[in-house]
Amino acid sequence: MPPSAMDIDSQPTKEASTSVSTEEDGYVLPWVEKYRPITLKDIVGNRDAVSRLETIARDGNLPNVILTGLPGIGKTTSILCLARDLLGPSYKDAVLELNASDDRGIEVVRSRIKAFAQKKVTLPPGKHKIIILDEADSMTGGAQQALRRTMEIYSNTTRFALACNQSSKIIEPIQSRCAVLRYNKLTDDQVLSRLEEICRLENVKSNDEGLEALIFTADGDMRQAINNLQSTHYGFGYVNADNVFKICDQPHPVVIQHMLEYCGKGQVDEAVTLVEQLYDQGYSSLDIITTIFRVVKNYDEMDERIRLDFLKEIGFTHMRILDGHQSIIQLSGMVAKLCDICAK
């Protein structure tokens, strides 16, 4: 399920039906928008968090909330669906949405947010205006300090919904004023079911290996999976593993599996050669080490004890690469240590 999170409903929405005529006019709507859920019951995954929002929508008593989790798993979509369920189809009149792309320093809090909180809007009894701050963890410290006072002053008429990737970057005074909902990464089955549904609705030609490749590259991010599906479909007309990895420009996991097989046999020269080939093709050290980690994590043909030792060495190398040591020497040294682990 990367801007706002993209959990997708299982049936084509009203917005989807209107987008068909748009496509006939020569404009192709991104599938992440075309199949974005419009109600809470349509959202895929994170049932515990979504069920709490459904209770809030039913009772109408919305507290200030913080939704935190990885990109592309449904945070912003959940807030927009909650606003629609609470306030009805014309909810946009009572909702102010600010994204990280907007200027959100202290002046915005003092002007736009304060002005919207003061604005009079006709709402059903017990309902409140909603201010959505997407990527709230990128707000400056001064803006967050100004925001906490605004949240108190206008608590009778306005509620705040903050979506962020790391709740630790939200200052404690704001966290204490909000209910925190934590969103988890989507499972492979949840992503697969949505991809299959979109393939059926869009008449996309694909095979099982292609869908598995999409799931592998997305790593629980629904938005990235759907974007990669659409890009592969329009780029090649057929979704298979090779086409997906060309579009996503990630090292092919089959090459990594061959490298691990050489490590298991203690053939360090052959294993290092494969890694050097990936490096010479232009893949960054971070791309290579990330793919190696994910392949090892899901590699069934490996003893559990060896897998743990492999992940330990991969983790140390990943840490060095993040510190800026991105030469081929780091990767070659890691491969040598993996061969040494198998030899022992």
Structure tokens at 63: 């507290």
Q: Give 145-168 pLDDT, tens digit per residue.
A: 888 888 888 888 888 999 998 888
* Last-in-domain residue among 158, 182, 206: 182
Please, which pLDDT band fits residue 315 given cuts at 50, 70 and 90?
very high
| pLDDT value for 101 | 65
- Burial, 44: exposed, middle or buried (Cβ in 10 Å; 0-12, 13-18, 19+)? buried
Q: Report if residue 245 sits inside a domain.
A: no
Q: Give 48-93 pLDDT, tens digit per residue.
A: 888 888 888 888 788 889 999 888 888 888 888 888 888 877 778 8
Q: Give 28-46 pLDDT, tens digit per residue.
A: 788 888 888 888 888 888 8
Highest mean pLDDT among 16-30, 76-90, 178-192: 178-192
Q: Which domain holds residue 311?
A: 253-343
Q: What are phi and psi of 221, to 5 degrees?
A: -95, 105
| pLDDT value for 229 | 92
Q: Report if residue 246 sits inside a domain.
A: no
Asked if 55 and 176 sit in the same domain, the reply is yes
First CA to last CA distance, the chain: 41
Which residues have a Cβ under 8 Å from the Cβ of 208 and sit 6 or more positions away?
none
Q: Give 317-339 pLDDT, tens digit per residue.
A: 999 999 888 888 999 999 999 88
| pLDDT value for 252 | 86
Asked if 178 and 266 sit in the same domain, the reply is no
What CATH number does the domain containing 135 carry? 3.40.50.300
* Last-in-domain residue among 182, 211, 230: 182
| CA 191, 54, 130, 15 torsion-angle sign | positive
Split into its structural domains, the chain has a count of: 2
* Last-in-domain residue among 166, 182, 198: 182
More confident residue, 267 or 27: 267
More confident residue, 324 or 12: 324
| pLDDT value for 119 | 82
Q: Give 219-274 pLDDT, tens digit per residue.
A: 888 999 999 999 999 988 899 888 888 888 888 888 898 998 888 888 889 889 99
What CATH number does the domain containing 316 carry? 1.20.272.10
Asked if 177 and 263 sit in the same domain, the reply is no
Mean pLDDT of 292-303: 84
Please, which pLDDT band fits residue 27 given cuts at 50, 70 and 90?
low
**One-letter amino acid identity for 34?**
K
Q: What angle do CA 221, 224, 225 make, to 5 degrees?
A: 85
Is pTM beyond 0.85? Reply is no
Average of per-residue pLDDT values in the chain: 83
Label the pairing between strands 179-182 and 95-98: unpaired
